[in-house]
């Protein structure tokens, strides 16, 4: 079987204009997501994860400018589409569960009506057909279809999150982007939602991008991971390789900052300092002021993403002796 | 009652602490003589906290952990019960006497962006308690502030003392909040989810500061968290709450390695592991935490429990010591 990428992002740069300066939120990002696979976008607040999602979905604020790059969805460069053309694709081919979307349901309409609206806007079908589609979706995400006429306040947090996922799935998209889908949920409900997402991925063979700061959630669900720092991808590739053998000092730091419940107690090692201001990021490697291994070259030359083993890419001068590929 | 063998005198002894909040009722309904409803946020909790320990208090949102933490230091007035600190029931104290005790019982709040006055410099934030309590003379204030800042690793202190909160990162702010508690030389600090608002990479420095302070000054902590992995990392013992009740209490390693209560077992099983080769969590329990206004009868966990039997539906289990130092409130371990 041939693997095909559903989504391919190449050299994407998206800056926010702030007066006379630019905040380089997405700075030369490339990645791809294959059919039925899940890519985790990991990183701390302000690293640019959500800005990537907003760029793909074309829901950028007014000051967000795409400087360069290509985004191919099923082989088609969606950045070349007009607004009108893209509207036919949004929510049909690519859908999103935005952060805190469980609280974005309109309180005066039933959940069923709101999901139906998402279907009828894009598909030519009768109301009865739409209702049975919503019931089907409810079943798919584990909500009793009899609750189609409930209002948002009658749903618990976990059910609202399931409903938000159902809404994203309404038009059978090829890929869905999930932005912090479990952040506001308690740990048991989080585990329920994660197991739902695992099942959906398998059953529908759908591609996913999972945005989160929590590396353990990515380990739970994803096939590949892109670790972001200050608008850049610093490490990218197969999840097993990266978790087994994290190369970038930032990835190592992030993994070391999580206490593992199954391991012996050991001192947590944080990363000193704080993420930089993206209006004026540090020269060279953006991580160098916080890096325990930084040397002269890091301060002046920006490291490129290079393959250190098959399917494992790192942007760090430590693994880039001279100019040769390792 | 909790009995503990070969343990020192507890620093804080909570006895049958209850906190019920009234549910607001419309005027019409009260005229109709409808019964007042209560949210039983903390319902009859007794626990001993020992000097120089970090007691982790874990549970989901709505389990009552924050209310219990705040009631312990009387930031919230209790409905019933007592808290004994140094042979005094702090719930009975009044006026200046209470003020003296407040100094010894401090709190660090969850959100360092909310809990620090943005108009004050770091010096004023940290010094406020010192001045209110007249602990040092005015000319010694800077010295005391600087030494507290040093203790929380905001060094060199002179670089921070004149800055405003907005100039600091979340982790640095949270350490200012710790310094603010620390200058008062407290015996006991309630740390309410102190790192849940912080980015992962800066959590460790806040946590490490707390561990250092425990070692250096022998401060006792109640560490409130929803994250059991974090509770295990920080605490000597862990108490688990569910719907206003204490369901399990044990040494932290013991509680994580050998959880007895089905709820604790479910909580631990639900935690994702930062390792893609680990077995995926299987969720045995269904549904979500019910409303504390009208909690289930008998054992409050019984509607979600995979091992429920008849007795659970009618009789509330008591917290019992089933192994030395390991307490659980579950009928499975209470063969009559």
Considering only CB atoms, which chain A residues are within 8 Å of B203?
257, 268, 270
Question: Element (H or E) spanning B314, and its range?
Answer: helix B310-314
Give me the residues paired with residue A225 across strands: A40, A237
User: A284, A302 in Cβ contact below 8 A?
Assistant: yes
Report the pLDDT averaged over residues A206-215.
Answer: 95
Task: Report pLDDT for B159.
Answer: 93
Give the rounded percent of residues in chain A with a pLDDT score beyond 90: 81
CB distance from A202 to chain B under 8 Å? no
User: B57, B49 in Cβ contact below 8 A?
Assistant: no
Task: Report pLDDT for A318.
Answer: 95
**Average pLDDT across chain A, whole number:** 92
Task: Report pLDDT for B336.
Answer: 63
CB contact under 8 A, B270 and A191: yes
Considering only CB atoms, which chain A residues are within 8 Å of B54?
none
Cα A255 to Cα A225: distance, rounded to the nearest angstrom:
13
In the predicted structure, residue B333 carries a pLDDT above the cut 50: yes
Considering only CB atoms, which chain A residues are within 8 Å of B227?
187
Neighbours of A172 (CB within 10 A): 12
User: B236, B283 in Cβ contact below 8 A?
Assistant: no
Alpha helices in A58-146 (DSSP H): 83-89, 111-122, 127-141
Return the axis-axis angle of helices B122-132 and B170-182, rounded to nearest 10°: 20
Task: Report pLDDT for B287.
Answer: 79
* pLDDT interval class at A324 (50, 70, 90): very low
Question: Element (H or E) spanning B188, and its range?
Answer: strand B188-192
Residue A89 corresponds to which tokens in the numbers above? 């694709």
Task: Report pLDDT for B283.
Answer: 78
Return the axis-axis angle of helices A187-204 and B262-269, rounded to nearest 10°: 50
User: A249, A273 in Cβ contact below 8 A?
Assistant: no
- Please provide the DSSP assignment of B71-97 as one string: HHTTSS--SEEEEEETTEEGGG--HHH
Nearest CB partner across the interface for A261, out of B61, B232, B277: B232
Report the pLDDT averaged over residues B113-121.
Answer: 94
* pLDDT interval class at B69 (50, 70, 90): very high
Parse chain B into domains and list their residue ranges.
12-104+186-333
Q: Nearest Cα to A250, choosing from A108, A42, A105?
A: A42
Condensed to tens digits (0 to 9), the pLDDT of residues B118-141 reads: 999 999 999 999 999 988 888 999
CB distance from B171 to chain A under 8 Å? yes
* pLDDT interval class at A325 (50, 70, 90): very low
**Average pLDDT across chain B, whole number:** 92
Query: Which carries the bigger pLDDT value, residue A263 or residue B151?
Result: B151
Residue A208 corresponds to which tokens in the numbers above? 């996913």
- Please provide the DSSP assignment of B254-304 as one string: HHHHS--SHHHHHHHHTSPPS-TTSPPPP--S-S-PPPTTSPPSSSTTGGG
Sheet holding B220-225, edge to edge: B105-108, B188-192, B220-225, B54-58, B237-242, B245-251, B326-328, B320-323
Termini Cα distance of chain A: 30
In the predicted structure, residue B5 carries a pLDDT above the cut 60: no
* pLDDT interval class at A322 (50, 70, 90): low
Task: Report pLDDT for A136.
Answer: 96
Residues 6+ apart with CB under 8 A from B37: B22, B23, B25, B293, B294
Phi, psi values for residue A300, rounded to 5°: -120, -30
Q: Does domain B12-104+186-333 have CATH number 3.30.450.80?
A: no
Task: Report pLDDT for A326.
Answer: 39
CB distance from A259 to chain B under 8 Å? yes
The ipTM value here is 0.84
Q: Nearest Cα to B254, choosing from A258, A265, A191, A186?
A: A265
Q: Nearest Cα to A55, choosing from A66, A46, A70, A39?
A: A66
In the predicted structure, residue B229 carries a pLDDT above the cut 60: yes
The number of angstroms, rounded, from the C-alpha of B58 to the middle of its chain's C-alpha atoms is 8
Give the rounded percent of residues in chain B with a pLDDT score beyond 90: 74
CB contact under 8 A, B272 and A214: yes
Pairing of strands B38-49, A21-34: unpaired
* pLDDT interval class at B30 (50, 70, 90): confident
* Half-sphere exposure of residue A194: CA atoms within 13 angstroms, side-chain side: 29
Interface test with B, best of A157, A182, A191, A290 (most B CBs within 10 A): A191
**Residue ranges of E strands in chain A:** 5-18, 21-34, 38-42, 64-73, 76-77, 94-97, 175-179, 207-212, 224-229, 232-238, 306-309, 312-314
Query: Which carries the bigger pLDDT value, residue B175 or residue B283?
Result: B175
CB contact under 8 A, A188 and B267: yes
DSSP letter, residue B63: S
Interface test with B, best of A227, A261, A271 (most B CBs within 10 A): A261
Cα A197 to Cα A169: distance, rounded to the nearest angstrom:
11
* d(CA B238, nearest CA chain A) in Å: 13
* pLDDT interval class at B95 (50, 70, 90): confident
The number of angstroms, rounded, from the C-alpha of B131 to the middle of its chain's C-alpha atoms is 27
Least confident of A128-137, A185-194, A227-236: A185-194
Cα A160 to Cα A167: distance, rounded to the nearest angstrom:
10
Sheet holding B12-22, edge to edge: B38-49, B12-22, B80-85, B88-89
Per-window interface: B 31-70 vs A, CB < 8 A:
60-61
CB contact under 8 A, B199 and A267: no
Least confident of A50-54, A270-274, A296-300, B90-94: A270-274
Neighbours of A293 (CB within 10 A): 11
* d(CA B300, nearest CA chain A) in Å: 16
Give me the residues paired with residue A68 across strands: A13
CB distance from A120 to chain B under 8 Å? no
Task: Report pLDDT for B1.
Answer: 52
Condensed to tens digits (0 to 9), the pLDDT of residues A148-157 reads: 999 999 998 8
CB contact under 8 A, B203 and A257: yes
* Whether the bond into A211 is cis, omega within 30 of 0: no
Task: Report pLDDT for A105.
Answer: 93
Neighbours of B50 (CB within 10 A): 17
Q: Nearest Cα to A6, choosing from A57, A73, A55?
A: A73
3-state SS class at A143: coil
Query: Which carries the bigger pLDDT value, residue A322 or residue A57?
Result: A57
Residue A84 corresponds to which tokens in the numbers above? 């009108």
Nearest CB partner across the interface for A259, out of B199, B230, B288: B230
Give the rounded percent of residues in chain A with a pLDDT score beyond 70: 97
Condensed to tens digits (0 to 9), the pLDDT of residues A35-55 reads: 999 999 999 888 999 999 999
Report the pLDDT averaged over residues A52-71.
Answer: 96
Give me the residues paired with residue A175 across strands: A94, A207
Report the pLDDT averaged over residues A184-208.
Answer: 92
Condensed to tens digits (0 to 9), the pLDDT of residues A88-107 reads: 999 999 999 998 888 889 99
Alpha helices in A257-315 (DSSP H): 296-300
Neighbours of A120 (CB within 10 A): 16
């Amino acid at each position: 079987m041939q693997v095909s990428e559903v989504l391919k992002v190449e050299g994407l740069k998206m800056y926010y204009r702030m007066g006379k300066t630019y905040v380089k939120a997405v700075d030369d990002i490339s990645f791809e997501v294959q059919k039925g696979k899940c890519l985790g976008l990991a990183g701390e607040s302000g690293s640019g994860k959500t800005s990537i999602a907003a760029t793909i979905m074309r829901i950028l604020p007014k000051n967000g400018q795409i400087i360069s790059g290509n985004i191919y969805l099923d082989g088609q460069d969606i950045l070349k589409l007009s607004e009108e053309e893209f509207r036919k694709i949004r929510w049909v081919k690519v859908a999103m569960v935005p952060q805190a979307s469980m609280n974005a349901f309109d309180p005066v309409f039933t959940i069923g009506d709101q999901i139906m609206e998402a279907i009828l806007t894009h598909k030519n079908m009768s109301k009865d057909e739409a209702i049975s589609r919503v019931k089907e979706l409810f079943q798919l995400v584990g909500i009793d279809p009899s609750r189609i006429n409930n209002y948002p306040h009658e749903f618990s947090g976990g059910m609202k999150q399931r409903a938000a996922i159902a809404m994203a799935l309404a038009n059978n998209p090829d890929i869905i982007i999930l932005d912090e889908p479990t952040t506001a949920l308690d740990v048991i409900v989080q585990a329920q939602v994660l197991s739902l997402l695992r099942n959906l991925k398998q059953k529908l063979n759908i591609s996913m991008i999972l945005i989160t700061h929590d590396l353990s959630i990515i380990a739970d669900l994803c096939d590949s991971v892109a670790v972001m720092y200050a608008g850049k991808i610093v490490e990218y590739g197969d999840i097993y390789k990266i978790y087994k053998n994290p190369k970038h000092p930032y990835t190592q730091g992030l993994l070391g900052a999580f206490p593992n419940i199954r391991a012996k107690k050991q001192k947590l090692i944080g990363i000193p300092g704080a993420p930089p201001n993206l209006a004026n990021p540090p020269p060279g490697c953006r991580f160098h002021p916080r890096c325990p291994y930084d040397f002269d070259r890091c301060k002046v030359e920006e490291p490129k993403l290079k393959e250190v083993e098959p399917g494992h890419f790192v942007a760090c001068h430590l693994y880039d002796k001279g100019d040769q590929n390792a | 009652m909790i009995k503990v063998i070969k343990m020192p005198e507890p620093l804080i002894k909570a006895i049958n602490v209850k906190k019920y909040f009234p549910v607001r009722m419309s005027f019409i309904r009260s005229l109709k003589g409808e019964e007042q409803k209560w949210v039983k946020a903390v319902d009859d909790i007794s626990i001993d906290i020992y000097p120089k320990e970090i007691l982790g208090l874990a549970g989901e949102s709505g389990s009552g952990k924050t209310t219990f933490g705040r009631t312990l230091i009387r930031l919230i007035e209790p409905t019933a019960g007592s808290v004994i600190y140094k042979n005094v029931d702090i719930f009975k104290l009044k006026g200046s006497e209470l003020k003296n005790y407040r100094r010894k019982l401090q709190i660090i709040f969850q959100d360092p962006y909310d809990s620090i006055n943005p108009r004050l410099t770091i010096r004023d934030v940290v010094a406020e308690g010192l001045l209110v309590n007249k602990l040092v003379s005015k000319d010694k204030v800077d010295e005391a502030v600087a030494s507290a800042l040093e203790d929380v690793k905001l060094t060199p202190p002179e670089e921070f003392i004149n800055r405003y909160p907005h100039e600091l990162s979340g982790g640095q702010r949270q350490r200012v909040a710790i310094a603010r508690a620390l200058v008062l030389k407290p015996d006991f600090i309630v740390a309410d989810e102190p790192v849940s608002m912080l980015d992962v990479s800066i959590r460790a420095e806040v946590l490490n500061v707390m561990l250092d302070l425990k070692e250096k000054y022998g401060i006792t902590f109640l560490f409130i968290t929803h994250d059991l992995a974090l509770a295990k990392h920080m605490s000597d013992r862990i108490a688990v709450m569910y719907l206003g009740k204490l369901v399990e209490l044990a040494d932290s390693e013991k509680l994580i390695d050998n959880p007895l209560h089905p709820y604790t077992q479910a909580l631990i099983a639900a935690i994702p592991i930062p390792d893609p080769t680990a077995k995926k969590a299987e969720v045995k329990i269904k549904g979500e935490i019910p409303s504390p206004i009208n909690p289930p009868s008998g054992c409050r966990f019984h509607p979600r429990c995979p091992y429920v039997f008849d007795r659970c539906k009618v009789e509330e289990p008591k917290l019992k010591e089933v192994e030395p130092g390991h307490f659980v409130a579950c009928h499975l371990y209470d063969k009559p």
